[in-house]
Structure 1
């Protein structure tokens, strides 16, 4: 397994992998509008502070993605993972943990101090992240508000 920056030539393959993972159990996302999906993926991969990492297997097949942003903060640089995913046929085999370890190594070399992410507590990703060294913030919450509701 090898982690490297997402190459522009692999963008379509990453989009296909993202769609395959998140349109199935347990997420069942409904990406019916390809233009909307392209806009979302572009938001994640085409900004000057984007950091898109790709995991390739020993056959050079794309099997994982970590799409996010690097921000500067008073404690140093931080990486916010917006999307983290592993090919469905590689899940529950330790591949995600390998990817997290390789991301850690990459970030350390880039002098990035923290990894941030958000997930839902009732999803399999939640215990996975705990198993791989992430912890709940005791004094923070993740909030949302619909724009068209008071």
Structure 2
């Protein structure tokens, strides 16, 4: 088999995103693994593909529990969902780690809105046993500071009403937009 055929076959059967670190080491993983915040207990950094498995487990644990009770059938289903977010060309994400273990995650994407560049948070979650300890607030504060330096003007997200998550976001400076509603059509 020729080199050309091997290379063509390789890239045809695996996503190019898996090769970013090899082709762009100066622009990809090196910047991602650099901490945004660190102290003697916590480390906040940008999400890396190596975090996908650990974040998938954490996501399933958090959203299968109270108050969400989502019915994620399998870890593969969860991983597929998060991987779809990660593959968005304008994706960015952040993790908060304690002793190298991911205990919280913020995943989203940028949007060029008429009011300026905004970051839409697709998923934000903290380990069930760590909620209420300030980790979510610390992660949100660091993400906000980082994105502000990158020229973002606001954060937006969706959450359910009348649950602790809504109170958490209100406490952290978010507000309900009375001019917006979520529209859903079942198929």
TM over 0.5: yes
Deviation of 1:141 after TM superposition, in Å, equals: 1.3
Q: Which residue is equivalent to 1:9?
A: 50
1:67 aligns with 2:94: no
TM score, norm. by length of structure 1: 0.91
1:30 aligns with 2:97: no
1:80 aligns with 2:120: yes
> Which runs of 5 or more structure 2 residues have no equivalent in the other structure?
1-41
Greater relative contact order: 1 or 2 (C-alpha under 8 angstroms, separation 6 or more)?
A: 1
TM score, norm. by length of structure 2: 0.74
> How many residue pairs are counted as aligned between the two chains?
146
Specify the structure having the higher radius of gyration (Cα): 2
Q: Which residue is equivalent to 2:151?
A: 111
Say what the alpha-carbon RMSD is for the aligned residues: 1.3
Deviation of 1:51 after TM superposition, in Å, equals: 1.2
Q: Which residue is equivalent to 1:53?
A: 94
Contact 1:70 1:79 in 2 (8 A): yes
